[in-house]
A and B are shown apart, each in its own frame.
Chain A
Amino acid sequence: MLGRIWTLVIKELIQLRRNTLLWFMALFGALLETALVAYSGSVPIEHLPLAVLDQDRTGASRALVVALENTATFDADYYSTDLDEVRRLIDRGKATAAVVIPHGFAEQLDDPLTPPPQVQVIVDGSDSTAAETAVGAAEGAVASFGQQEVNLQTMAFGEEELMPLDISMRVWFNEEMKKSNYTTPSEAGFIVGAIAAMIAAAAVAREREMGTLEQLMVTPLRPMEMLIGKAAAAVLIGYTEFVLVVLMIHFVFGVPMRGSWTLLWVLSFFYMLVELSWGLLVSAFAHNQLQALLLVFCIIMVMMTFSGYAYPVDTMPRAMQLVSNIFPIRHWLVVFRSIMLKGAGVADFWPRLLAIAVLGVLMMGAAVLVLGRKVE
């Protein structure tokens, strides 16, 4: 059996060597893409253009604008004179947010007897991520600006301690809450898994489309052996790619490695095999390469959804969370991040590993069944 598989592996590798464009794109194209995506994802959301309508024009109102700018989230790019102009700027998408400081802001702020001054912040809600960031930053900046004023005013009283609770907040595992520590492992796991699945998906579909599958069928190869042999090229490219990408996110993007390298290399090889089963399953189903491509495209988009890159899976509806479990990437990313960021070991995440293994067996089994039926 091993001998037969080996022969097929050799055939696949010879074909792969001839296809220079394929491995060039798979290795360097994907590496470049990961670098670009990782680079774009690692910068925080900042420099959102802010329109300022300052009707007060005092030191205090200018200080508030500076406080907003100091969050780095906003760049005060536009100074308007009336509300219509602010509306136009936001309508046209030139400004993401606007702050309206009313006349008498400084007076009301200084005078303890008047009600607190009203500051209006307008946010363009058409882009969720930008809007959420803008709201958070504006709330934070205004609150801390206000807090400084309070401290100045209450200093005079300070007999009894005013603050009853001293909340000490600590963030574990990703102390600076660096976005790239979370997003780059997602991107790496995802892009590499997707490429491996894509190459595997084309494998059998290609032979079927070209009519060479019949030649393979007359050999003593069994469906199972054929699938394993067919996966060889995808394993080789996928794994090399994974090693390169992991080294890149560690050395270039500074994602810490707190766990064991050996564990990561071993488990990632195992994950690669499971992710390939998706491709092989598609390949067994598809009649031609176009169908294989379109099916893999769908699977990859859904994989992306459940990778938690855009939105944490824990917050999705129950039904979606259940569905997410049939995608190996859902489990793998927990394992991957736990090793790199938390330094966790097998004892911490064995249920996830078990889930990946079960999925691998199921998908591979289904692929063998489908292919076996088609061969007959």
Chain B
Amino acid sequence: MSVRKTLSVMQKELRHILRDQISFILVTLAPLLLLFTMGFAFSVDIKNVKVAFLDRDQSSTSRQYLAQLESAGDVDLSYQAGNYRQIERWFMADKIKAAVIIPQGFKDDLQQGRTVGLQVIIDGTDPNTANHAIRHVVLPTENFAAQLIAARSDRVGIPLEHLSPIDLRLNTWYNPSMRFAIGIIPALVAVVMSMPAMAATLAITREKERGTLEGLIATPISRSELLVGKLVPYILTGMLSVVLCVAEAVFVFDVPFQGNLLLYLLLSVDFLFASLSIALMLSAIIHDQQAAMLTSMLIFLFSGFFLSGLLLPLVSMGPMVKMESLMLPTTHFVMISRGMFTKGQGLDPLWGYAVALLGMGTLFLLLSTLLFKKKLS
């Protein structure tokens, strides 16, 4: 393998990338834009659940309860129902996520020390929202109940502490305020960096489809020189986007970077090497761009988003899915990115992922050299 020949292929490929300005801008800046959209969309922590209420008691106590619910929970209580049917209709039209029904005699029963049934209805369609609604409706309701218990327990004579016998102290390390941005943006950086691999899937297929590969075949450039020459320019543009994405995470989203930046960049080269080698292998065996696009979408985009551990922790995946996700470079880079951004990990706990990426890169580059036939079909 000659360095000079590889360099000339690199130069050619780089010129291709730079000449098609729209593609160049898309490859380098799209990750930034995607990170921005997704980071911004996902990182809100203030939520208002729309809750309807049906107050059948219309008493001072029921109003007091509703006022407390509105101030304590993150709820929007602007839906006052006149009857039960209306609540059903609102649920059907997706207007409300929860409803509270206060029975008749709420005030009287409470004053006389009887237990009152309070009905809470939750729309379970989206378990995330449902859990959120439960937290913001049921917890304030329980607090309201606790105040009533305090009044009663005074009468009965039970010390109040016993009602919460354990003092639970919750500490969230690395992210004490549980900011969603800190938990998701480092992983998103890894996911949006599939862009160079998507573009590289077309690198050889394009030449095949356009017929320009014949020109390359006629030159004395060997297969490995051609492949490495194709690979390196994408690593370069990829590095540019990695730097920009890290800057965006730190300066726009205010996510602290705790690790060693130089090591992070080095490991991103490792990741780009692995994902681009897979892309080149696909490119070497697929003959038309449409099919190559579809395949790269299935491998990099869908798996990268759903199976890389971005949203679901790897430990709770089934063995089959876990195996598939470990075969993706993105999964390893998500681990590296999270570890370095938030925990400030060094190479010591991360070397396994780094070696896996290096192995994948080497294996797939070798495979693509073997599978790529430098002759006319």
Contacts and interface: CB of A to CB of B under 8 A. Distances in A.
A124 B20 CA distance: 44
A150 B324 contact: no
A376 interface: no
B119 interface: yes
B298 interface: yes
Contacts of B291: 19, 21-22, 25
B307 interface: yes
Contacts of B290: 19, 22, 199, 202, 206, 289
A48 B309 CA distance: 13
A195 B309 CA distance: 23
Given A36-B307, A118-B167, 17 more contacts: A41-B312, A92-B349, A112-B161, A116-B161, A126-B174, A126-B186, A126-B341, A135-B178, A146-B165, A161-B113, A174-B127, A287-B20, A298-B26, A301-B34, A312-B129, A320-B41, A334-B94
A304 interface: yes
Contact of B298 (A29, A93, A117, A286): A29
A154 B162 contact: yes
Interface stretch (A162-170, A218-226, A354-362): A162-170
B55 to A, nearest CB: 15
Interface stretch (B147-155, B264-272, B361-369): B147-155
B30 interface: yes
Contacts of A309: 311
Interface in B48-65: 48, 50
A341 B312 contact: no
A125 B114 contact: no
A165 B141 contact: yes
The 6 closest A-B pairs by CB, nearest first: A128-B183, A125-B175, A174-B124, A294-B26, A171-B124, A125-B172
Nearest to B92: A348
Interface of B (DSSP majority class): helix
B110 A182 contact: no
Interface residues of A, number: 128
A107 interface: no
Contact of B125 (A174, A191, A296, A300): A174
Contacts of B50: 314
A153 B183 contact: no
Contacts of A116: 161, 164-167
Interface string A70-106: 0000000000000000000011110010000000000
A46 B315 CA distance: 8
A83 to B, nearest CB: 12
A372 interface: no
A310 B37 CA distance: 13
A173 B124 contact: yes
A198 interface: yes
A138 B149 CA distance: 24
Nearest to B309: A127
A97 to B, nearest CB: 10
Interface of A: 19, 21-22, 25-26, 29-30, 33, 36-37, 39-41, 43-49, 90-93, 96, 109, 112, 115-132, 135-136, 138-139, 142-143, 145-146, 149-150, 153-154, 157, 159-179, 181-182, 187, 191, 194-195, 198-199, 202, 206, 209-210, 286-298, 300-302, 304-306, 308-312, 314-317, 320, 334, 337-338, 341-342, 344, 348-349
B41 A146 contact: no
A369 B323 CA distance: 47
A338 B92 contact: yes
A138 B172 CA distance: 12
A229 to B, nearest CB: 16
Contacts of B20: 287-288, 290-291
A172 B124 contact: yes
Nearest to B50: A314
Contacts of A301: 34, 37-38, 192, 301, 305
A71 B349 CA distance: 29
Nearest to A153: B162
Interface string B12-44: 000000001011001100100110011011101
B261 to A, nearest CB: 18
B313 A45 contact: yes
Contacts of B120: 167-170
A316 B342 CA distance: 24
Nearest to B294: A25
A302 B34 contact: yes
Contacts of B171: 120-123
A19 B292 CA distance: 12
A41 B119 contact: no
Contacts of B132: 312, 315
Contact of B159 (A112, A139, A298): A112
B163 interface: yes
Interface stretch (B78-86, B194-202, B221-229): B194-202
B138 A169 contact: yes
Contacts of A112: 159, 161-162
B253 interface: no
